[in-house]
Structures are given as C-alpha cells and as structure tokens.
Amino acid sequence: MPELPEVETTLRGIEPYIAGAVIDKLKVYNGSLRWPVTQGISEIVKGQRLLSLRRRAKYLLLQLEQGSMMIHLGMSGSLRLVDKNTERRKHDHIEMRMSNGACLRYHDPRRFGAWLWSEGEHHQLDHLGPEPLTNEFSGERLYDLSRKRKIAVKPFIMDNKTVVGVGNIYASEALFRSGIRPDREAGRVSLQRYHVLASNIKDVLQAAIEQGGTTLRDFVNGNGEPGYFQQTLAVYGRGGEPCVACGKALSEIRLGQRSSVFCGRCQR
C-alpha cells in the first residue's frame, strides 16, 4: 500500500531514466482503474517529450509538452523499469516506452490507482491541504483547523484537507510517538501536543523517505515496490501484541472504517 514515502521513492527511482526522453509508445492493456484511463491517451502522448516529473500528495505528475499525466498508485499499484523484452506479468496494465529505450510498466492488482491525461489542471488536486514536509504544515495549523471539531484526531490528520500524504500506517505511528490516543476528539488536543504531533508526522515520513532511498535500485528490473515494510512499526499491524514502550497489550479499534492500533497506557 503505497503511502507518501513510497510515492516519493518511486518518483526518485524512475525520474533519472525517463525525464527528458520522448514517449515512443504508451500501451494500455487494461484501462479500468479508479477512473477509466483517459480515452485516446496513447495517441495524445505519442511523440511528446516528458519534460519533468513531480509529486503532489500521493499523485505523480508527468509534465508533457502538451498537458500532463497524473498517476496514482492506489492501494496496490507500482511502477518499475524493465527491459522491453521482459514478459508482462499479470496485472501489468500500462506500459510506456521511451526514445532512450527505457520501458516503464504500471502494475496494479486491485486497480484502485489512476492514470489520467489532462491538457490543463487535474481537478483532483484542487482541494488538497499542504505537503507535510513543508512549513505550511505545522502544529498551529492542526490546532486552528481542529477547534470545535468532534472528529477523532486520527481521521482528522488523515483528511487530505488537513494535510496530504498521511495514511493509516504513518498516522498510527505518529500518534503513538506523540502519546495521543487515536480516538481523542481533534478539538480536545492542545496546541502544545499538536506541535509534537506535527513534528512526529514529519519525522516518520522523512525517515521512511530516507529508507526508501536505499531501495532505489529495485526500480530497474526489480519489483518496483519500495520497502516501507522495512521500517520498524511500533503499533501498525500489532494489535494484541505488547507495547514496545510499556509492554501492555496494544488495543485495536475501528475509526472511520480503518483499523487503529494504540497503547491504552502510553497514549491519552
């Protein structure tokens, strides 16, 4: 499940091999993704130079001479660079061949991802909050946005309007590090504690991005799946197991349809 660090790692992994090259061919084998892949995209992008790549939230944006392609990896998507003769795997839905020989394949078993072209803005980006690793995202922002909000703090920080790129794994870990219960009302967390939380969100994401850097070579003839799983997770996926800090069995509840694991002693 790619979260922001995995998307950032994917960007850094593929960018050196395809930026500046011309798209020779884009082949869509199965365009039935989260939204249908843009009609006629192969003809639109053929022969266009890929000018630059960037990331916004968990979206990858590929700037072309005319318009841009926006890719989302959804729950199970990945991109990898392969030799063009490599046999296509099951769930390899899109292939992009470049003038320099690079061949990029989009793999997505659950097809929750997206691959769209637009001449102008991609409206999915219209109402996104700030990037977590910028100064726009801060404890003050969390505090200000949460006043009088009854929503639990965990779904509050996972809301893309609050801050982008904080999925279930990193929300759970950041709350544990901050000693805040995930089901606490967002409006009942102090400014001081939101400072700590914002700082921990930045730290866990930054650490994961740095770890991702060690797996970049996997994007060339590798599986294209960066190793977020290598990161030590204190609570995520550990319901019932002992807290790494105090030993008490970790609690597991559901918030906003997502499993939430926390320590009832360390988090208040």
Partner DNA sequence: CTTTCAGCCTGACGGC
Partner DNA sequence: TGCCGTCAGGCTGAAA
Q: Does 76 bind DNA (CB under 7 A)?
A: yes
Burial class (CB in 10 A: 0-12, 13-18, 19+), 77: buried
Question: Is 25 marked active-site?
Answer: no
Residues between 88 and 107 that touch DNA (CB under 7 A): 90-91
Q: Does 5 bind DNA (CB under 7 A)?
A: no
Question: Is 258 marked active-site?
Answer: yes
Minimal CA–CA distance to 7: which of 231, 226, 230? 226
Number of residues that bind DNA (CB under 7 A): 36
Question: Is 3 marked active-site?
Answer: yes
Which of 63, 99, 138, 160 forms a contact with DNA (CB under 7 A)?
160
Which of 112, 138, 222, 265 forms a contact with DNA (CB under 7 A)?
112
When the beta carbons of 23 and 236 are compared against DNA, the nearer one is: 236
CB of 45 to DNA, least distance (A): 22
CB of 254 to DNA, least distance (A): 7
Sheet strand arrangement including 92-98:
23-28, 92-98, 103-107, 78-82
Question: Is 6 marked active-site?
Answer: no
Catalytic residue, chosen from 2, 5, 155, 182, is: 2
Catalytic residue, chosen from 34, 58, 181, 193, is: 58
**Considering all CA atoms of the chain, what is the largest pairwise distance in Å, rounded to the nearest integer?**
60
3-state SS, one letter per residue, for 189-252? CCHHHHHHHHHHHHHHHHHHHHHHHHHHHHHECCCCCCCHHHCCCCCCCCCCCECCCCCCECEE
CB of 214 to DNA, least distance (A): 22
Q: Does 129 bind DNA (CB under 7 A)?
A: no
Which residues have C-beta within 8 Å of that of residue 186, sequence separation ≥ 6?
146, 149, 150, 151, 152, 153, 156
Which of 168, 200, 215, 251 forms a contact with DNA (CB under 7 A)?
168
